Amino acid sequence: MLLSLIIASVLFALVPALLFRANLRAYAPPPCPPSGQEFPPVSVLIPARNEENAIGDAVRAALRNQGIELEVVVLDDHSADRTAAIVEQLIATDERVRLVPTPELPAGWCGKQHACWVLAREACHPLLLFIDADVRLAPDALARMTAFLSASGADLASGIPHQATVGLLEKLLIPMIHFILLGFLPIRQMRRSRQPSFAAGCGQLFIARAQAYHRCGGHSVIRDTLHDGLKLPRAFRVAGLKTDLFDATDLATCRMYRAAGEVWFGLAKNAAEALAAPAMIGPMTAALLGGQVLPVILLLLGLRSWPEPWPKWQITLALVATIAAYYPRMAAVWRYRQSLLGAILHPLGILILLAIQWFAFLCNALGRPSTWKGRPYPTPGAQTKALTPRELEPTT
């Protein structure tokens, strides 16, 4: 029994470690384009609901992008704070900023997906960049992302911004975005295929060709979901379009959540459509416990019983599994500027992450709707009315 556990821990730890290592090269930052290169104009689209503390900095950061024509379009999604007033002040100082009307949220839509759909229909330029209000773009971000889209031939591309983390729960859990993506998705194989099963992205930042976006239906196809990071690339791939990934660490910065409760419920709201989906939660729980927590437990048990009754080779295997478990997190500390403390406490982070997944799974099984920013949302996968061809046509 003990030997089986040790071998299983080695296998469960090595697979994501080796894939993470391979992905470090495949998941690369877009290079700086040559001086003087021309780029197609970009519409920077920002859905905002009660974002008075973030929206000003988000818009100003986007406007600082150089060498490219752009507009910044903000949708104030029925905010109860000064979000709209702040955007209106920016409009007075820069004609590239627009604030679009706020339509009522139709039945069956999630707020962000509806806001992004309305924004896309208001956009004037051939490239669409969707960012969250807490994302801060670097001055060369638009040029580099646009160049990547052109060089890769992708219709939609996404990357994970640098994740600013302050609280302990942020340091433990937010880096899991990189760990899950790069430890379980073969990026080179993803690029060779347009299968929907390889769909992946980060909902904080998407750049898309407007023509392709409207062709596949964009956010209207995923209107009843909270997990656009997974579902939007899947919608493109279902339509036969190409999606890709790039490292956005140097292109943008984001602080997702600012309190422990926000971290818990923010991650839980998406979980039922990802790791906490019925077909995923069992296998992923086994893989994460077996490869990221069990190796450390076995190593500590083996060292405590040294020199008997554990043979030296069994302790060596437990050590190999532990090193493999920690490798992705330590590599991410260096490559993606993540918290060292969060990496050291990696097994604890895994346990909390799994607790969130099971919490979301049970809430979904009991029919409790997800709630975010004061809105209850439909159960994932609920049937909604299909849009008509007229509704799918862009307005500009």
Q: 143-193, pLDDT tens digit by residue?
A: 999 999 999 999 999 999 999 999 999 999 999 999 999 999 999 999 999
Same domain for 14 and 79?
no
- Put residue 218 in one of left, alpha, beta given phi > 0 → left and psi -120 to 50 → alpha: left
List the structure tokens of 302: 């083996």
Same domain for 13 and 58?
no
pLDDT-derived band at 383 (thresholds 50, 70, 90) equals: very low
Among 154, 109, 150, 176, which Cα is nearest to 377's? 109
Same domain for 191 and 307?
no
pLDDT-derived band at 376 (thresholds 50, 70, 90) equals: low
How far is the C-alpha of 249 from the C-alpha of 29, rounded, in Å? Answer: 8
For residue 64, pLDDT beyond 50 = yes
Give the model's pLDDT for residue 392: 47
Same domain for 132 and 245?
yes
- The boundaries of the domain holding residue 310 are 2-22+274-369
Among 251, 54, 64, 61, which Cα is nearest to 133's? 54
Same domain for 73 and 156?
yes
Same domain for 129 and 238?
yes
Give the model's pLDDT for residue 191: 97
The CATH code of the domain that includes 180 is: 3.90.550.10
Same domain for 114 and 210?
yes
3-state DSSP assignment of residue 131: strand
Same domain for 150 and 220?
yes
Among 306, 298, 342, 305, which Cα is nearest to 323's? 298
Give the model's pLDDT for residue 37: 86
How far is the C-alpha of 35 from the C-alpha of 12, rounded, in Å? Answer: 46
For residue 384, pLDDT beyond 80 = no
* Residue given tokens 């051939």 in the structure block: 126
Same domain for 388 and 363?
no
Alpha-helical runs (H) found in 251-311: 260-271, 278-288, 294-304
Percent of the chain with pLDDT over 90: 80
Same domain for 236 and 321?
no
Give the model's pLDDT for residue 372: 61
Same domain for 247 and 147?
yes
pLDDT, one tens digit per residue, over 90-106 is 999 999 999 998 889 99
Q: Tell me what the mean pLDDT of segment 338-352 comes to.
A: 98
> Which residues, 6+ apart, have CB-to-CB distance to 320 below 8 Å?
10, 14
Q: Which comes out higher in pLDDT, residue 271 or 377?
A: 271
Give the model's pLDDT for residue 307: 58
For residue 306, pLDDT beyond 90 = no
Say how many domains are in the chain: 2
Inside any domain, residue 347 = yes
Give the model's pLDDT for residue 366: 86
How far is the C-alpha of 218 from the C-alpha of 208, rounded, in Å? Answer: 10
Inside any domain, residue 75 = yes
List the structure tokens of 243: 């999606």
Q: Tell me what the mean pLDDT of segment 273-301 comes to.
A: 94
Give the model's pLDDT for residue 202: 96
Same domain for 197 and 109?
yes
How far is the C-alpha of 271 from the C-alpha of 266, rounded, in Å? Answer: 9
Average pLDDT across the chain, whole number: 92
For residue 381, pLDDT beyond 50 = no
pLDDT, one tens digit per residue, over 9-62 is 999 999 999 999 999 999 999 998 888 789 999 999 999 999 999 999 999 999
Would you list the DSSP string of 322-357? HHHHHHHHHHHHHHS---HHHHHTHHHHHHHHHHHH
Q: Which comes out higher in pLDDT, residue 388 or 147?
A: 147
Contact yes or no for 237/196 (Cβ under 8 A): yes
- Put residue 155 in one of left, alpha, beta given phi > 0 → left and psi -120 to 50 → alpha: alpha
Is the previous residue joined to 328 through a cis bond, with omega within 30 degrees of 0? no
Inside any domain, residue 360 = yes
Q: Tell me what the mean pLDDT of segment 249-269 comes to.
A: 93
For residue 382, pLDDT beyond 80 = no
Q: Which comes out higher in pLDDT, residue 379 or 207?
A: 207
Would you list the DSSP string of 36-90? T-----EEEEEEESS-TTTHHHHHHHHHT--SS-EEEEEEE-S-SSSHHHHHHHH
Inside any domain, residue 32 = no
